[in-house]
Amino acid sequence: MRILVIEDERDLLTTLAQALEEEGYAVDTAENGEEGLYKAESWDYDAIVLDVMLPKLDGFSLLKKLRARKRTPVLMLTARDTRQDRVLGLDIGADDYVVKPFDLLELFARLRALIRRAQGEAQAKIVVEDVQIDTAARTVHRGKEEITLTAREYALLEFLALRRGKVVTRTMLYEHLFNEDDSTLSNLLDVHVSNIRKKLGSEFITTRRGHGYCIE
């Protein structure tokens, strides 16, 4: 999953980006509203973390412009816990908000919920045959056995599992699993898929006509 964080306080931006990367997300950042809007319109992020008070273009104006074109899930960071700010944000299309100073674990949980709901998934657990994926705990079980995946393998598996029954193209996977600074070799996806198949069964992920993958 790929997240855009738009925040002008550099310490907070760095902390958030690092923490999200440790959670296994690909993360892009923007330090002002104009740059944030440009990136938000240029790529299909799985979610955007958006600060309200930003230079060049504030978070509310950014969100209004973005909502004219895109439905990307947006979690707002509001500085003041005033009802006006929360209501305004939700009314112009924010999906959720947290009030600064916020708890990182709560922000992660809210983000996971936004990403799941965007794919029509209400619950944190996804079951495909004998494989259970717990998107809250980020664990995978096959039967009773816990399967250890690398962060990238897990991200790929979760992305496909949230879209099970649909073919996901390689382009989509590159756009959602890697950030703008990643320089990855094109065959790396195949390596991750092949590793997941070794761990969860050769039929678990199918290849469709050479250009996409699918969990049936």
Q: Which residues form the interface with Ca ion (CB under 5 A)?
A: 8, 51, 53
- The nearest distance, CB 127 to Ca ion, in angstroms, is 41
Residue whose CB is less far from Ca ion, 8 or 96: 8
CA dist 98 and 102 (Å) reads 6
Minimal distance in Å, beta carbon 125 to Ca ion? 36
Of the two residues 79 and 104, which places its CB atom closer to Ca ion in the complex? 79
Long-range contacts of 199-207 (CB under 8 A, 24+ apart): 199/142, 199/147, 199/148, 199/149, 199/153, 200/131, 200/140, 200/142, 200/147, 200/157, 201/142, 204/128, 204/131, 205/160
CB of 16 to Ca ion, least distance (A): 12
Q: Which is nearer to Ca ion, 8 or 134 (CB)?
A: 8
Residue 13 Cβ, how far from Ca ion at the closest point, in Å?
9
In the complex, residue closest to Ca ion by CB: 53
Cis status of the peptide bond prior to 73, with omega within 30 of 0: no
